[in-house]
Amino acid sequence: MTRRILGVSLALGMAGLWGCAAKPVDSFTLQVDLPPQFELKTAANYGPATGEACTLPRRRGKRPERKVFFTDYKAAASRVSYQLPLNETVGGCPLVLRGVEFDFYAKWGTRDGDVGGDIAGISIRDSLAGEIPRMPESGIQELLWQCQWLFRTVGPIHALRKVLSCNSLGASGQSRTTHAGGGFSRDELRRKSILIKLGLTNEERPYMGDNWVRFPKGWKRCRGASLEDQYAFCMGNTTDFKPFKMPDGRICDIYPTCTE
């Protein structure tokens, strides 16, 4: 190898090393475990870095400050994974990741309309002075979220429908009243991972209180003021009930067993 070629090779090698040093990986890994028959829309939202006065140009049909990912329904449980930049520059404007939104959809029946959904999200903020890092030594922070089907009746025939509700779980596995979510600082996420474990409990419960009464074999729908009363609050009457229509067309007296 001539001295000139050797010099060029060394220069290119040093340039490559310098480029790696000047542009370190500034991202984190986001993974979501989905139960069977779940669909997910994930949106990573960016905004100008703190102290920046720049604004992003509005483009017809495009939002450069938002990265959107879609995951279709799968018959079996599955895991999706994203590598999300924590900062980037768009149109000369320095942006930082401000949060990630999740739209969950799930099937509860066989008809096209037998679908329920809920939303969740994690916020990502600037580092705070004196903040205690919460990321475990493994570099993987697990978030436990759990969804549940809530049943209700709608319309004059009191057709049964279901609503999806997703909450955060405590360290002991108990469901919290808070909606599924979480918050992190940008520094603690750098080159780390978040693993969201989304579960679906088998236990269903009424969508609203004081509409159903629980019995050993299921729930009965309160009669209300009359059989035509679509809201039908129990109001202390736990002896008079009304039939409702199941998704398969059956007229039932108790959910989910239909008859006692």
Q: Which of 141, 104, 139, 123 is nearest to 44 (CA)?
A: 123
Q: Cis bond leading into 85, ω under 30°?
A: no
Q: Which of 102, 258, 211 is nearest to 166 (CA)?
A: 102
Q: Cis bond leading into 247, ω under 30°?
A: no
Q: How much is the pLDDT for 127?
A: 75
How far is it, in rounded angstroms, from Cα 172 to Cα 129?
30
Q: How much is the pLDDT for 17?
A: 32
How far is it, in rounded angstroms, from Cα 47 to Cα 64?
10
Q: How much is the pLDDT for 56?
A: 75
How far is it, in rounded angstroms, from Cα 257 to Cα 187?
52
CB 132 within 8 A of CB 155: no
Tokens of 182: 């979480």
Distance of alpha carbon 180 from its chain centroid, rounded?
7
pLDDT tens-place values along the chain, 260 residues long? 444 443 434 343 433 333 333 344 489 999 999 999 999 999 999 999 888 888 777 665 567 788 999 999 999 999 999 999 999 888 888 999 999 999 999 999 999 999 999 999 999 988 755 555 577 888 899 999 999 999 999 999 999 999 999 999 876 666 655 788 888 999 889 999 999 999 999 999 999 989 999 999 999 999 999 999 999 999 999 999 999 999 999 999 999 999 87
For the question of whether the overall pTM of this predicted structure is more than 0.85, the answer is: no
For residue 186, give Cα distances in angstroms to 93, 98, 107, 168, 192.
18, 9, 35, 21, 10
How far is it, in rounded angstroms, from Cα 205 to Cα 239?
20
How far is it, in rounded angstroms, from Cα 208 to Cα 85?
41
